[in-house]
Structure 1
Amino acid sequence: MFEGFTLEELEVGGQRVRVRYAGSGPAVVLLHGHPRTHTTWYAVAPDLVAAGFAVVCPDLRGYGRSGKPATDADHTPYSKRAMAADVVGVMDALGHDRFAVVGHDRGSYVAYRTALDHPDRVSKLVVMDGVPVVEALERCDARFAAEWWHWWFFAQQDKPAERVICADPETWYNAWTTNSPAALGPGNHADFLAAIRDPATVHAMVEDYRAGLGIDRRNDVADRDNGRRIECPTLALWSTDDDLEQLYGDVVAVWRPWCREVQGHGIKSTHHIAERNPADLLRSLHAFL
């Protein structure tokens, strides 16, 4: 995987961030989702480098081998604002003043928060399989609660989700069925497996969700109330074999009040587009970036 890429750990704002990068030209940072690491982009990142981009793939805070800070009552260290600051710090360290941000799943929340908090740094934004946190919560209905039940399960702390997951993480995360080596690719699967077997990583990933239901929602509400919008061109992508369209109908319409300029379309795939249909994803990224 990632032939020609540099892999290192950077100290950013007092946090350790594992990052893989290569290439020259316009910068693009790729942000993974749950429960993946940066290696989810193994079939995408090299193609973007070959096309003339400088590509940066970090592990999000708490995920993979990046740092896992102690949490607090508001789960602030795992807020998307804190993760967005990590992204900017990584790009500073690598010498990129302006960059595009592509985020999938939980990474999409970090991506749009980066664009909202650092509009002078983000040139273009791609959000995949996600809508703003507050939109998901305010539109929540019985179907969402039934299909996305893990949001509420992860939020519990009196009987913490970590105890259940860590009892058998490979079964919980379908490591030998839908998330098998054949589905993820052997190297990507090995990195994923190492992450989910680490109780500290499981705890940090759950903290990401706890922050989502609290501080991230409050930050979204504050931005909306203050009229802040994403200033850069935005592309919304979603997996047609997942449930985003079923939950929200016109996904682009959900994003429109948040963006100065937004377009979007579905891609034939199940949830992890970068692994399941990298060819069509790359066509969309090339056209937009």
Structure 2
Amino acid sequence: MQVDLNKLKTFYTLAQAESYTGCAQRLCLTQSAVSHAIKKLEADLGYDLVDRAGRKFRLTREGEFLFQQCAGIFDRIDDTLDALAAGKGHRISLTLGAPAEFGSSVLIKGMAPFLNKHPHVHVDFFLDPYLLAPLLSDDLDIIVDCIPHVHETLVCLPLMREEYGVIASPSYVADHRIQTIADLSRCRLLSFDKDLLWWKNFINALAGQADFGCDGVIRISSVRGIINAALASMGVGFVPRYTVLKELENGQLMELFPDTEVLNDQINIYLKKRNFEKPPFPDLIRHIQSLQLH
């Protein structure tokens, strides 16, 4: 049996993207072209590959089997092409994803030595809070994230613990007479959300203390925005400590309640298993692991 490899590649991409729209965007085709290619492939093979009975995208049993086999084939082709490119010094392009503050404060600042050592490697950066979906769809090659992800196609490598701190300007602390956690009841809190889910690591560390409260919440959708608001004496913030080390050192900000054992997050590196040992990922991983929080 002869099968059109272009149609097979279209099916493989569709199964990865789990949507006709995503497949069309990745292959620069129309949705109708993708649909036509899949139907033609199904006709050539003699069985359905996509289960069209439900509203959610789903492969048939035969489609799942073909997808797994295609993964091995196309991954080996990609590995071969990457090896040839590396051997000839051809440029390899990667996209590294991370949350905005960690990406800009740590990864981007620390990436120059790696790029200088590996001039054939080109790295783009995608700074966003939502990283899993683009990693699974291969729009990202590797991510660093404090959100735990579990997926059968991924490798998870522990990177570091992310410590948090409660911060405010000295003038705000003095004006609002902040000495104990109960004093926050007359303060504005700076948070990603009105429900204070952003503050959960601090709140959970209080073990249900009844005297925790606030005088209002200012919603700010970035860590740097929270820091700047704290510097401007707009309220009390809660941020990763590495993001305010300089401000704490030079006295622009104060860390409140340092004896409270605030819960920390685990920052991990995630990438596809098939890329784990493929150049230049091992070197990139080692470089990321060598970075320090300053």
Please say whether Structure 1 and Structure 2 have the same fold, judged by a TM-score greater than 0.5: no
TM-score computed with the length of structure 1 as normaliser: 0.28
TM-score computed with the length of structure 2 as normaliser: 0.28
Q: Could you say which structure has the larger radius of gyration?
A: 2
